[in-house]
């Protein structure tokens, strides 16, 4: 019974403004989230360093969430800025109430047929807990990402990485991809030189 109460408190504490950050996995000892290698939606290795010099938005996504319609706005955002050096990286995760139960193939099919997603999608990972993926261990650790650390609250949390490979902003799941604060941050980073 106590375990169920603790689990419920852990789930809802971030929504109440409480911090429950407990990192079960040590973050990788790299200087940028773009120094890591991940698997794409088809299972192929992708070195995120390939995206250095671009402005990158990293988003944990889910197909059966109330926020799933954000895919449409994410795709619009990607199309608006991609020719200026902007890319969105979508990471499906099933950490919140089983809202991403599908296989990678099912997720890929859903994204392309329902939302015409053309931005890069990656293999399903965990964004919190004992099985947290190295990328999200890095993004959420106060040791590696002190300004924007903390547990992922829900699906569609967004991290913005500048051309220099450093995390520049974090937006809550409920912040729409086309919110003025998001587009202003993207435009600011697009205007910045990669050498800064």
What's the structural domain count of the chain? 1
Domain hosting 86: range is: 25-191
pLDDT-above-70 percentage for the chain: 86
Per the domain annotation, does 2 fall within a domain?
Answer: no
Rounded to whole angstroms, how far apart are CA atoms 173 and 192?
25
Per the domain annotation, does 159 fall within a domain?
Answer: yes
CA 94 to chain centroid: 13
What rounded mean pLDDT belongs to the chain? 90
Can you give the pTM of this predicted structure? 0.86
Per the domain annotation, does 158 fall within a domain?
Answer: yes
| Exposure letters 140-169 (e unless 16+ CB within 10 A, then b) | bbeebbeeebbbbbbbbbbbbbbbbbbbbb
**What tens digit of pLDDT does each residue of 51-86 get?**
999 999 999 999 999 999 999 999 999 999 999 999
**Angle (nearest 5°) at CA 56 between 182 and 153:** 60
Phi, psi at residue 15, to the nearest 5°?
-70, -25
Per the domain annotation, does 12 fall within a domain?
Answer: no
CATH number at residue 123: 3.40.30.10
Per-residue pLDDT at 195 exceeds 70: no
Per the domain annotation, does 72 fall within a domain?
Answer: yes
Per the domain annotation, does 144 fall within a domain?
Answer: yes
**Structure tokens, 167:** 């995390």
65 belongs to the catalytic site? yes
> Which residue in 11, 13, 30, 65 is the catalytic one?
65
**What tens digit of pLDDT does each residue of 2-59 get?**
344 444 444 554 454 444 445 567 888 889 999 999 999 999 999 999 999 999 999 9
Per the domain annotation, does 20 fall within a domain?
Answer: no
Per the domain annotation, does 96 fall within a domain?
Answer: yes
Rounded to whole angstroms, how far apart are CA atoms 10 and 12?
6
Q: How many CB atoms sit inside 10 A of residue 15's CB? A: 9
């Amino acid at each position: 019974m106590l375990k169920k109460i603790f689990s419920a408190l852990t789930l809802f504490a971030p929504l109440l403004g409480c911090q429950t950050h407990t990192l079960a996995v040590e973050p990788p000892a790299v200087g940028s989230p773009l120094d890591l290698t991940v698997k794409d939606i088809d299972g192929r290795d992708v070195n995120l360093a390939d995206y250095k010099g671009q402005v990158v938005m990293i988003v944990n996504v889910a197909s059966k969430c109330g926020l799933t319609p954000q895919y449409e706005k994410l795709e619009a955002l990607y199309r608006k800025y991609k020719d200026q050096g902007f890319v969105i990286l979508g990471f499906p995760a099933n950490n919140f109430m089983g809202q991403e139960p599908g296989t990678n193939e099912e997720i890929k099919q859903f994204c392309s047929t329902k939302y015409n997603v053309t931005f890069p999608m990656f293999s399903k990972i965990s964004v919190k807990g004992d099985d947290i993926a190295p990328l999200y261990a890095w993004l959420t650790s106060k040791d590696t990402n002190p300004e924007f650390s903390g547990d992922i609250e829900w699906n569609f949390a967004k991290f913005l990485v500048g051309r220099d490979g450093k995390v520049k902003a974090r937006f809550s799941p409920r912040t729409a991809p086309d919110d003025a604060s998001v587009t202003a941050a993207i435009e600011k980073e697009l205007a910045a030189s990669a050498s800064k």
